[in-house]
Every structure is written in C-alpha cells, then in structure tokens.
Structure 1
C-alpha cells in the first residue's frame, strides 16, 4: 500500500492497490457505517449493494415501485436499506440494520447505523464488532459535530480502520480544494482519537461515482474506489499473537452412564490459541492448571477432540485438576493473565435515557460475569463541540461520552480494552429493570485519567 498526505494534515491518508492487483483468499470484513442526517448514507449503502449485484430481483422491483409512487424518475436506492416502515415514512434510518453482500474475493457484514444524534447509542452497537468504520461527510457541510461524535465512538471502540466517503461531490462541482479541506480537518480530528489508518474517497452515491465504478468527473483523484479499498483493507487478527481468553459460559456435567466423571467448561475463545498441555489460570480465583483436552460438538450431535482451538471457536475445555469453576469465570493464559480487580477506570458511552451519576448502584457485566457495583466517580465528559474534557456535575446523559471510576462488590478479570476488545469491554446495567445504561471500555491499570479522550 502507498501513502499520501493531504496538505497540512496530521494523519496519513492511505490509498489502496488499484483494481487488478493480486487478491487474497475469500475472507470476511465487518464494517459499520456512520454519517449525519441527510449525508446520503442510505443511498451509498444501497448503491454499494446494487452495484455489487447483491440485490434480489424482487427487492429491486419493490424499490422501483415505491420510487414511482413517490414520483421519482429512477429507483431510490436508499430504500434498500431503510427497511422499516417507520424509516421509510420519515426518510431516515432509525435502527441498526445488518446487510450482507459478497464479491469474488471477500464477504461483508455491514452494520448500517443511524445518523441522528439521539441514535448515537445505536452506532456503539454497530461499531462494537467492526474492523472498519465507513463515515460519510456531505461535501457541502464538511465536518460537523456529529462527524466528530462518530470519530470519538470509533476511536474509543478501537476500530482499526476508517474510510471517509466525501459524498455529494457533484453538488460542489467536484472541487478538489473543497475535498482537500474536508479531508485535512477530518484527519486532524481522527489523530486526536488515536486513529491512524484513514482512507478518503470523493464520491457521489446518487450517481455511483467512485463507489464501485471509477468516476470520470474527478480527473484529479488517483486513489481507489470505495469498493477497491474495502477489498484490500487488512482484516482479522492473528489469534496466536494474542493471549488466551475463554469466558466460561457453562459447566458440562453429563449424568448418563459412562460419563459421570466428565467435567468440561464450555465457552467461546475471545482471543488466543489453546492446545492440550497448555498451562492456564482460572480467574478471578487465580488457580493454575493444565488443559487436558479440547472437545467440540459436531452438527450431528457427536463430539470430536481437537488438537488445537483458536478464536473465535466455541469449545469445551477439560482440565487436569478438579477446580471450582462456574459461569462467569475466565480461563486465561498462565503467562499473560488478565488483571483481577475490584475497581476499574474506563470510558463509557451512555445508551440509556437514565443518566449515569456518581454513587449510582449498578450491575457491571464483563464477559459472562455480572457483579454488583457502584459508580464511585464521574471523572469528566468529552465535549464533542470543543473536543475538550469538562466536568459533568449532573452525570452523563444519553449519548454522552465520559470517564468513570467504578468500585465492585467482587473481583473481576478484565483487560485493557485497547489491547483486547472483547475482554476489555463492559456494560453498566440498571439493577432494577435490567436495562443497559452504558457501554464501557476499560483502561489499563496504569493509564492516567483523561488519557485517550
């Protein structure tokens, strides 16, 4: 891959290999879209689906029929993604919708998230498992407050790659100076949130320019089309490069004759690789033992024994020692265990209309473990407009992003979110009705409060 910097930018804008470059094996990319209201996000996603021939004939017929009823001359491709009746009536996206499409070299799971500020919490859901965030900007309006909010969420959730589609370039006459100005400001904000891999593409979703087919109206642009970049961006993480983490979901103790001595611990590997003979530690108790065997159920109901398992496989681990293990415990690499603690600091994004306030009694869930907790302190809140931290005297309201300290009633095993996303994430839950209050990202124990925002 090659890199080119826009004038005065503080981050690098990377261009992907051109079409026709050698391709890799057929793999999977999870991405989330984000954009402000009327940036054309639904149209862009619809165009992407349409131009990759990922739309069924009956779906296209329905879109063309609705478009004609509205008096439009051509099919409104936004209707391919705004599938709920309420969304179609309002002309906006109001919920996370997952779309699936494939090309010859890659499969995609696309989380289409809303643009309205009141639905920022939905972006947290959509981006939590994404490897790439596709953020739209209206070329007429440039970087706005909601763009900065989406960048904040993207950075805090540890999404490694960002593609920015500067849309509606046809409405600014494909002005290169305007494009460069937007990209420069966008990359400056991206740098503040620790986002280094930024790819920018000038597009017109309405006409399909630079989405799948290259535009002949932006002669000054030599980078990839949007799809070319999605085809080439690196995906996945080598599981062997990460320490083992297996949150225990269920303890298996068959009662049938011949299986009374069997004890296995079922769970999905969040990260890492495990083999029989590996030394592990069970947290939060801290007991050490060795993996005796790895079992996995086949689709026909039989069980096979594995020589190795790796993330994200779901398996049953058998251990050499009889240890008291239950749902909520974490089996981790003995040489790289998680931190066990009764207090933690982290960044939270509030997803509930009930504010998160100091001294609130809540439930904290990390992995499969849920414990009682209290919000010891609301440290600060990110001001999306100024990009600075400020005090939050009334707590953190819906869609707010801020730092908190939490005291727990029991020990939990948790990682630095920046190192291990799945075992470094946590939820704050209302202990009265069970609703989710906030999604959180745990800090490393030695990170200073305020770093990273």
Structure 2
C-alpha cells in the first residue's frame, strides 16, 4: 500500500501512571532522530543533574516544571515529529485517575490510540477506562503496547496472558482494529527497531505500525452541515449588498445552486456563491472555512445551520448523550448548564441520569444517579432551544457537545449524542 508522505497521523498515548508513556514517546523521538541537538544536550544535562546514568527520555515530553519535579505528566503534552514516511502529532495524556478527563481531550481528534500496559501488572482499571473512552470516541485503531518486558525477562507467556486479559474485556466494546506489541520503552525493544530479546514476536515494531496505519477520514461526506458562526455585512464600495454567512463546513459538500434549508427556522433558499479568501469556489467541503451567500434574504444568525433540503437533521430539545464528567465538583441535580454544539450555544438541564458505566465490568448501574469526576454515564438533556444534531457515530462534528458551568465558566462535561 502506497503511503502519502505528507499524510498526518494524530495519535494519543494512555495508560496508568508510571506505565512509561513519556519514556515511550521520548524513545520514539530519540531513535527516529526527531529531536534537535540542543534539546538532546539540554535533557542530557538535566539527566546528569538528577543522577541518571543515561538520557531520561521522559524529559522530552514532560515539559512543565511541576511535571519534572514530580516525575509525572499532569497535562496533555502535544508533540510533533516526522519521519521519511509520515508526519505525526502525539497527545501524551496523564495516567493518574484524577486526570482521566485530559485523555478525553487528547483523544478527541486521534486516528489511533496507544494503550500502555505494565507487563508486571497486566490489565488494570485505568486500562479499561482508557480503552472504553477510546471506544466511545470511535478511535479506529488501538495499539496495545505491553511495556517493561525487560522486567519480566521478555516472557512470551506473560505477553500472551496480558493479550488474553485485554481481549476478554475489549470484545464487549466497538473497536475496529486492535494490535499488540511487546516493548521496552526504556531499552528500545520493538519501539523503532526490532527486539533481539523477543525473537518469538513476529510482528512489526511500533514505529512501523504507526507509519503504515491506514488513515480513513472520520468526516461525514454525505450529510451536508454548515453551522453559521457569523454574518458578514461588508460596507466597502461595491460590496454594500453583500450578505454572507461565514463558518466552517462540519460535513458534506456545498456548491452554488444547491437547494438548502436554514434550521431551525425551516426557510429554504438556493446557494448563490461560495466564497473563500482566494475568491469564489466551485464547492466547499469539510473542514473548509468559507462564506456562503444565498439567493434570498433570510434572517440567519450565529448558531443556525445551513443544510441540504433533501438531507436534514432533526432539531431536538430532548437529547440523549453519553457524558464524560470532567469536573471535580459533582453535578448539581437539575442544575442549568450552557451546552455548546458546533456554533450553537444554549442553556440546558440534565433531566435524568439513565445509567452509569461500571468501568470494571461495563455493566450499567441504574441505581446511582450522581455524576462525579471521571464518571461515564448516559443522560437525558433538555435545551431551551433546538439543537441540530446527528448521532456521534454518524457525524463527529455535529454529534458532540460540551457542558459549561454558568457560574464558573468551567467545562464540566463532554458528550457524544446517541
């Protein structure tokens, strides 16, 4: 299969604390020669000051002062690197349970997720939590890296046992592609180069898997959705009558002469022209930012959505969603929140917690109606005005929401509409 050398792969790393995520990324960067010499020199000096014999690879990603002092990653650290075959963006997410919410942020746009497992400990609760979130966010590729194999004497039996543990619980989830690699991030086994210590492993090292993964677009190309961000009314000479609706195409394709409907009003019109900063376009598709002009003068404002007349979402005020609670404060019963959906901003109330997911068994708990940090629940929301939604499985852009606490302006939850 021919790989596009300019193709960008976004992947996230997740696992429990001290499973070696930062060390793994450091090894990837170091062995693939994706680090500048001055960076290497700075980390080598810092490593010596700490008393390390060699280079502390984790320091290539643990850039925050607090992280270096504590030896942990407490925020999502984004890193960019490139190889002759592909470009990459890495989201290194924290391992502590109280920072699980950061994994939702790091994984929301990922094409692949690397789940790290400590070979000494096997599958633990955080492994299941991170895998469930990856499944919920519909990340198409999961690469399970069983790390620290050097500490279990590179045992094939230990590796096979952990693969069996992972397959047992992941079979209950909707995951398209799972791959397993035994590695030692610290020593470099099966990260960039094949391991001489695990000749029983017949697969490829991690970097080769990342370079050859098939990246399928997660953009819905069928359902045309254009959330309006702002209305353009230029007053320069020659443009006095110009009235365009600017925004980013969420999905589908828009062309001049397409018959469209404006939601939630239901008025119809025809696209007069599609404009970009380079002039008029024959078509616009996701994720392009454009301005659309219509043949008719219709009252349209921010938060409205332009869609194809023959393919419309159903405006909803009662919304079912899978919600990841991100805030340290528990959800308040029937409290009001601001819901953000594309460019639409409405007030909303959590009407009901239908069930919570037991992360260890994946059973549904219908008795506990509380929402606490890291809880994953199915909820019913009621909004003050309709939202033009699609199911998340059909359309990531129009199927996702966030909730904001009106009193603190903090993001308290991220949701996938079902």
In which range does the TM-score fall when normalised by the shorter chain? over 0.9
Q: Is the 8 A contact 2:218 2:396 kept in 1?
A: no
Q: 1:434 aligned to 2:386?
A: no
Deviation at 1:76, TM superposition (A): 0.6
Q: 1:279 aligned to 2:259?
A: yes
Mapped to 2, the partners of 1:331 and 1:188 lie a distance apart of 45
Mapped to 2, the partners of 1:283 and 1:100 lie a distance apart of 39
Q: 1:189 to 1:30 in 2, by over 3 A?
A: same
Mapped to 1, the partners of 2:244 and 2:88 lie a distance apart of 34
Mapped to 2, the partners of 1:406 and 1:161 lie a distance apart of 31
3-state SS of paired residue (1:64) = helix
Deviates more, 1:161-170 or 1:187-196: 187-196
Deviation at 1:193, TM superposition (A): 2.2
Structure 2: gaps (5+ residues): none
Structure 1 residue aligned with 2:348: 373
TM-score by length of 2: 0.97
Q: 1:309 aligned to 2:289?
A: no
Mapped to 1, the partners of 2:222 and 2:367 lie a distance apart of 36
Q: CA RMSD in A?
A: 1.5
Q: Is the 8 A contact 1:100 1:108 kept in 2?
A: yes
3-state SS of paired residue (1:192) = coil
After TM superposition, list the pairs within 5 Å mapping 1:174-253 onto structure 2: 174-237=154-217, 241-253=221-233
Deviates more, 1:109-118 or 1:236-245: 236-245
After TM superposition, list the pairs within 5 Å mapping 1:264-413 onto structure 2: 264-297=244-277, 303-391=278-366, 393=368, 395-413=370-388
3-state SS of paired residue (2:306) = strand
Q: Is the 8 A contact 1:239 1:273 kept in 2?
A: no
Q: Is the 8 A contact 2:263 2:388 kept in 1?
A: yes
Mapped to 2, the partners of 1:40 and 1:323 lie a distance apart of 56
Structure 2 residue aligned with 1:263: 243
Structure 2 residue aligned with 1:119: 99
Q: 1:47 aligned to 2:27?
A: yes
Mapped to 2, the partners of 1:291 and 1:392 lie a distance apart of 51
TM-score by length of 1: 0.89
Deviation at 1:294, TM superposition (A): 1.1
Mapped to 1, the partners of 2:181 and 2:274 lie a distance apart of 46
Number of aligned residue pairs: give it: 418
Mapped to 1, the partners of 2:308 and 2:198 lie a distance apart of 52
The Cα offsets for residues 1-20 of structure 1, whole Å up to 9 and x where unpaired, read as xxxxxxxxxxxxxxxxxxxx
3-state SS of paired residue (1:345) = strand
3-state SS of paired residue (2:171) = helix
The Cα offsets for residues 66-98 of structure 1, whole Å up to 9 and x where unpaired, read as 111111111010000000010000000000011
Mapped to 2, the partners of 1:191 and 1:339 lie a distance apart of 33
Mapped to 2, the partners of 1:294 and 1:38 lie a distance apart of 51
3-state SS of paired residue (1:29) = strand
Deviation at 1:239, TM superposition (A): 5.3
Q: Is the 8 A contact 1:379 1:391 kept in 2?
A: yes
Structure 1: gaps (5+ residues): 1-20, 298-302, 444-453
Q: Is the 8 A contact 1:190 1:196 kept in 2?
A: no
Deviates more, 1:355-364 or 1:261-270: 355-364
Deviation at 1:356, TM superposition (A): 2.1
The Cα offsets for residues 36-88 of structure 1, whole Å up to 9 and x where unpaired, read as 01101110011111112111111111110011111111101000000001000
Mapped to 2, the partners of 1:337 and 1:200 lie a distance apart of 41
Mapped to 1, the partners of 2:218 and 2:360 lie a distance apart of 37
Mapped to 2, the partners of 1:392 and 1:404 lie a distance apart of 13
Q: 1:436 to 1:320 in 2, by over 3 A?
A: same
Q: Is the 8 A contact 1:357 1:394 kept in 2?
A: no
Deviation at 1:392, TM superposition (A): 5.4
Q: Is the 8 A contact 2:356 2:364 kept in 1?
A: yes
Deviation at 1:240, TM superposition (A): 7.3
Mapped to 2, the partners of 1:424 and 1:229 lie a distance apart of 30
The Cα offsets for residues 216-242 of structure 1, whole Å up to 9 and x where unpaired, read as 111111111111111111214175743
3-state SS of paired residue (2:398) = helix
Structure 1 residue aligned with 2:395: 420
3-state SS of paired residue (2:393) = coil
Mapped to 1, the partners of 2:253 and 2:164 lie a distance apart of 41
Q: Is the 8 A contact 2:352 2:379 kept in 1?
A: yes
Deviation at 1:336, TM superposition (A): 2.3
Q: 1:153 aligned to 2:128?
A: no
3-state SS of paired residue (1:65) = helix
